[in-house]
Amino acid sequence: MNTRSLRFRITAWYAGLLAGALLIFGVSVYLGLERYLYWNLQRTLTAECRTIGTQLLSQHPFKRADWLETEIEEAAAPEANSHFIRVIQQGVGVVYVSGPPKDGSFDPAQVPLPNADQELSRKIRVEGRRLLIEGDRFTTPDGTRFIVESGAPFQQIDVVLHGLLLTFALYMPFIIFVAVGSGYWLMRRSLQPVDEITRRAEGITSTNLSERLPVIETGDELERLSVSLNRMIERLDDAFQHINRFSADASHELRTPLTILQLELEGIAQSHRLNPALTDQIGSALEETHRMSHIVESLLAISRLDAGEAKMEMTRLDLGQLAASTTEQMRLLAEEKSIRLTSTVASEVYVEGDRSHLQQVVVNLVANAVKYTQEGGEVEMHVRRKANAAVLEVSDNGAGIPDYALPHVFERFYRSDKARSRASGGAGLGLAIVKAICTAHGAELNVSSKEGRGSVFSVELPLLDVPENDEARPAVRKI
């Protein structure tokens, strides 16, 4: 699970808010119920005291000694209700106290008498049990003063509150789990079109800008986002086509005047009437003309490849044999700098591609490696299988490429070392052509390099099955 995804973060926020709301609700219900039960018990005990005072004590002096006890037992039944009742007569003492309750929750004899300056309403603890005591003072018509106390344990309140806590503990996690699971499922279903848009967007590059993202006709933000992205891709497609047309048209228009200029300079250079100084100048101009012609041809080739207008004959070919023969033809280029050029290829590495363009890929990669490798260095070319791909790899132990330049090495006219590239005749188009050819073949082009330790360029093409009529051949190794 991706913790940074939108659906996870929204679900987490939803779960947090829901848990917080339920917690606040639970605390509010618990405190409210506790207060209500306490108030209700307090009101019951107070009413009990007033009933005894107004209805029974008002008849003092009593008819007989046990009259008060009998009336209280019949009216309140304290033992059966687990209540505590005590009547205190001023100057006499306790004239009535209820017996132990049937549930044995407390002993009335352990309840202390109230002090003269003590509030009659109080909370006490008897034998580890909490009791709420409510009392009131009464004066009978004959002037006798009484204190009536009524009490009850908090046990019933604690039982109700404990049941409420148990209910919260059991059902709240379940409710949160169900809500979070449902919320995540809804978010996943709601954002599923975003995954499809993302997948399709990842596949759109500068070579297939004609494709469009799926539009979810729901009338919501996702539909507007899809439409806006498709309009942006359409504008980019128009801009890329305009750039490609401009590059192709400019390159095509420059070919003819450059060819004429080159022929005229060659004709002048062959004239015997020129002095040596003028001949050198014309030779220098002719070299620059050749260089400009090469740049124009390269730009035209890249533009055609990007636009899909390059003529390519896609055939089945052995990449190992093609790379080995092409590398062998470039041995003289390496020997000029005393560079050791080796090739190691596996047999029967079949791919589908245009022979001349794939040969140009090998030429450009090997030439680039030789160019940036010091004298006495080594350049290696490998062709091997990798799962369902054929891998062409060119490595060297030369100067390497700085980290800041790696993302730009396949851009047109980009040179990490401009002074040295210009001195060696480079225009920064060789790797751009390789990139364009690989894109046209559906190949993946990668580079890795350590500055001062060399570079590795690799091309991965889809691997074809070995034809049944071909006999197995051993691996080819050329040194």
| pLDDT tens for each residue of 364-404 | 999 999 988 999 899 999 999 988 899 999 999 988 888 88
- Write the CATH number for 130: 3.30.450.20
Q: Which residues contact 3 (CB under 8 A, 6 or more apart)?
A: none
- The 10s digit of each residue's pLDDT in 24-41 is 999 999 999 999 999 999
Please compute the mean of the pLDDT values over residues 242-255 and round it to a whole number. Answer: 65
Mean pLDDT of all residues in 145-172: 89
**Nearest partner of 304 among 366, 357, 233, judged by Cα:** 357
- At residue 410, the pLDDT reads 83
pLDDT category, 420, cuts 50, 70, 90?
very low
The answer to whether residue 430 sits within a structural domain is yes
Q: Is 455 helix (H, G, I), strand (E, B) or coil?
A: strand
Higher confidence at residue 195 or residue 473?
A: 195
Same domain for 289 and 393, yes or no, is no
User: What is the pTM assigned to this prediction?
Assistant: 0.49
Does 319 lie in the same domain as 230? no
Does a structural domain hold residue 168?
no
Of the candidate ranges 131-135, 307-311, 351-355, 422-426, the one whose mean pLDDT is the lowest: 422-426
Q: Do 73 and 155 reside in the same domain of the chain?
A: yes
Q: Both 391 and 292 in a single domain?
A: no
Q: Is residue 29 domain-shared with residue 121, that is, in the same domain?
A: yes
What is the rounded CA–CA span in Å between residue 266 and residue 105? Answer: 123
Mark whether 377 and 339 lie in a shared domain.
yes
What is the tally of structural domains in the chain?
3
pLDDT at res. 475: 39
**Which structure tokens are listed for 420?**
């040295």
Q: What is the pLDDT of residue 142?
A: 85
Mean pLDDT of the chain: 82
Q: Please identify, among 161, 179, 202, the residue that sits at the C-terminal boundary of a domain.
A: 161
| Out of 25-29, 37-41, 221-225, 351-355, least confident range | 221-225
Are 242 and 141 contained in the same domain?
Answer: no
Mean pLDDT calculated for residue range 117-122: 78
Q: CA 424 to CA 441: how far, in whole Å?
A: 30
More confident residue, 467 or 429: 429
Residue 65 has pLDDT above 80, yes or no: no
Residue 71 lies in a domain: yes
Structural domain containing residue 458: 314-478
Torsion of CA 26, 31, 33, 35, to 10 degrees: -170
Say which range, 23-37, 216-230, 338-352, 384-398, has the weakest mean pLDDT: 216-230
Q: Half-sphere exposure of residue 164, counting CA atoms within 13 Å on the CB side?
A: 17
For the residues 52-63, what does the mean pLDDT come to? 84
**pLDDT at res. 27:** 92
Q: Which of 169-173, 278-282, 293-297, 380-384 has the lowest mean pLDDT?
A: 293-297
Is 430's pLDDT higher than 90? no
Number of alpha carbons in the 13 Å side-chain half-sphere of residue 354: 15
Supply the pLDDT for residue 419: 43
pLDDT-derived band at 271 (thresholds 50, 70, 90) equals low
Q: How confident is the model at residue 180 (pLDDT cuts 50, 70, 90)?
A: confident
Q: Are 283 and 252 contained in the same domain?
A: yes
In the predicted model, what is the mean pLDDT of residues 251-260?
69
